[in-house]
Amino acid sequence: MCGIVAYTGKQPAREPLVEGLKRLEYRGYDSSGIAILTSPPYWVRTVGKVDALERRVWQDSPAGTVGIAHTRWATHGKPSEANAHPHIDCTGKVYLAHNGIIENYLLLKKRLASSGHSFRSETDTEVLAHLIESLYQGNLEAAVQRALLQVQGTFGLAVLHAAHPDEIIVARRGSPIVLGVGVGECFAASDASALARHTDQVVYLEDNEVARLEPGRFSITTLDNRAVSREATTLEAGAGAIERGPYEHFMLKEIFEQPEAVENALRGRINHAEGVAKLGGLESVEERLQQARHLIVVSCGTSYYAGLFARYAFETLTDLTVETELASEFRYRKLNLRQNTVVLAISQSGETADTLAALREAKRKGATVLGLVNVVGSTIARETHAGVYSHAGIEVGVASTKSFVSQIIILTLMALLIGRNRDISYEEGARLLEGLENLPDQIRETLQQSGHIRELAQKYCGFSHFLYIGRKYQYPIALEGALKLKEIAYIHAEGYAAGEMKHGPIALVDPAFPTMAIAPEDGSYEKMMSNVQEIRARDGHVIAITTAGNAKLEHLVDDVIEVPRNHDLLMPALTVVPLQLFAYHCAVLRGCDVDKPRNLAKSVTVE
């Protein structure tokens, strides 16, 4: 979603601002803009890639040392220069960049228009610039506080005023803002990756807080002007984590980082002696977990498919009843939470608006709320009662890859932790731990097939439709594989539980509608084979993913991809890898923008 960068210091602001915007490109956007305090203020906006903005800024070389910049992902009003941020007030003194949605903007706009303000854009954001103008009496921070008290909706914002040459005001409610504190300079951004190159000292704003930044220092207040004291903390991942290295795309780099992602997810979390997992982040809620009877997993997109996997994993390893729910649906349900219900929110970014709203709703209803989050210090991580970090490292590619595999691993560890205190034996626990420890090398082995999978992509990337099928542990993987193909290669793909084929989708099967059958030799293998036969009988092409050494399949299907054998429950961490590679190679061959697919954003901070 939209990105914000702000800088106040001694160097020309244009450099950290444009560089920061480039770091935020992965979040998805359609236009960008910048405002720098010079006399008169420098203000440029462009549609399309940040490169266009960068060329203008280098050409004009504005000298000011205080500025804000923004990448916009259109919500209210189409992508255009007029709708791009920063937006300004009538006097041309207030400059404002905003992430989020102002829900009562029509009301505010009508009121401001009737008192003489004129608007230049179709956005909800512009009303904020005029509202601040109308409330400004020489103190910018006070005007921002008063304006935000009138606002319904969400915001992460950064504001400049021509009469305040060193100062930037930032604020948040619902959309993240992180401050970066350097020597003689201060930064703010919607995502720490935009400032990681300059400083590792960061401060996360909480909802309904406002910060005033000046070179080298900052202060925080609440919207009603109570002072907040907060120390800077050290950012974990350095700037190196966001370099592409020798890889053509971040997505490919991140697919190849999966063995290390699994190692990091497991590090320090295995207790061999007792055949159990150790998860320090859950110790504070140990007793509540002992008493838990019912688990509800909430998440969106790929994290939702990890949630579907969690249902099978927890049902296999524990006696909990488990429900998996899309966060966007869960948040609006009338929840009749049973006693001893635990809600688990899964999110890579830790900022997804629907997941956050779902967890707040569950908390309000008295549930214990846990998080499985990748981004350290993110809002979901801070608002849950307890949780576990996936430690997959920064994921830049818009399509989730390594964070999904890390989620599967940690969900298995969580289920084992709870299950071993109930009826899972030491032997079963030890067998699972051994399987987990074998995964990194097995994923390395699977990655070696990237060339073979590219050849298959060459053969199949011209098809317009695909069916992905799997059963039990492989059902979420069928959904995830289909999602990857849709979002990266723009190929229509239906993910289905193989048992549902006869209830509809088989009508689609013909020689122009190939099927990806995820069929490792597990407890569902024979049933999967019946489904494959049914597709072949209707002249459908089939690519099968199966376990190494399974010679029986070759004669039955068009193409085979083999993955090493492991515990049935852990096979998803292997079968998903060829599906990621298949989507990746199809996308490259079709000339798609792999790391920044159209219309998508990395972190979905609006509903």
Stretch that binds ligand F6R, among 76-84, 140-148, 299-307, 565-573 (CB under 6 A): 299-307
Per CB under 6 A, the segment of 105-113, 140-148, 235-243, 294-302 that binds ligand F6R is 294-302
The residue nearest ligand F6R at its CB is 301
The distance of closest approach from Cβ of residue 95 to ligand F6R in the complex, given in angstroms and rounded to an integer, is 30
Q: Which of 31, 123, 175, 348 binds ligand F6R (CB under 6 A)?
A: 348
For the CB of residue 250, give the shortest distance to ligand F6R in the complex, in Å: 12
Q: Name the segment binding ligand F6R (CB under 6 A); options: 146-154, 179-187, 227-235, 295-303.
A: 295-303
Picking from 588, 577, 501, the residue whose alpha carbon sits closest to that of residue 262 is 577
The nearest distance, CB 3 to ligand F6R, in angstroms, is 15
Instruction: Report, in Å, the least distance between residue 322 CB and ligand F6R.
Output: 19
What is the C-alpha separation between 373 and 354, in angstroms, rounded? 14
Phi, psi of 20 (to 5 degrees): -60, -40
Q: Is 2 a catalytic residue?
A: yes
**Selected catalytic residue, list 2, 186, 300, 461:** 2
**Per CB under 6 A, which of residues 83..142 are in contact with ligand F6R?**
none
514 Cβ neighbours under 8 A, 6+ residues apart: 460, 463, 465, 466, 467, 540, 541, 542, 543, 558
Query: In whole angstroms, how close is the CB of 568 to ligand F6R at the nearest point?
Result: 25
Does 192 bind ligand F6R (CB under 6 A)? Our answer is: no
Neighbours of 546 (CB within 10 A): 25
Choosing from 402, 484, 486, 602, which is the catalytic residue? 602
Burial class of 41 by CB neighbour count within 10 A (0 to 12, 13 to 18, 19+): buried
Tell me: does residue 301 bind ligand F6R (CB under 6 A).
Answer: yes
By CB under 6 A, name the one of 37, 69, 242, 604 that touches ligand F6R.
Answer: 604
Please state the three-class secondary structure of 180-191 as a single string.
EEECCEEEEECC
Binding status of residue 352 toward ligand F6R by CB under 6 A:
yes
- Residue 8, burial from CB neighbour count under 10 angstroms (0-12, 13-18, 19+): buried
Strands (E), 335-464: 341-347, 368-373, 386-389
> Site for ligand F6R (CB under 6 A): which residue of 31, 125, 175, 303?
303
Residues 103 and 157: beta-carbon distance below 8 Å: no
CA–CA separation, 208 vs 225, rounded Å? 10
Q: Which C-beta is closer to ligand F6R: that of 179 or that of 485?
A: 485
Q: Binding to ligand F6R by residue 300, rule CB under 6 A?
A: yes
Q: Which is nearer to ligand F6R, 347 or 412 (CB)?
A: 347
Give how far the C-alpha of residue 528 lies from the chain's centroid of Cα atoms, to the nearest Å. 32
302 binds ligand F6R (CB under 6 A): yes
Q: Does 190 sit near ligand F6R (CB under 6 A)? A: no
Which contacts qualify for 470-473: CB closer than 8 Å, 24 or more apart?
470/497, 470/498, 470/517, 470/518, 470/519, 470/528, 470/575, 471/497, 471/498, 471/499, 471/524, 471/527, 471/528, 472/312, 472/522, 472/523, 472/524, 473/309, 473/312, 473/522, 473/568, 473/569, 473/571, 473/572
Please pick, from the candidates 47, 296, 297, 399, the single residue that binds ligand F6R as defined by CB under 6 A. 399
Q: Residue 602 catalytic?
A: yes
Closest separation between CB of residue 356 and ligand F6R, Å?
A: 9
* Residue ranges binding ligand F6R (CB under 6 A): 300-303, 347-349, 352, 355, 399-400, 483, 487, 603-604
Which residues are known to be catalytic? 2, 602
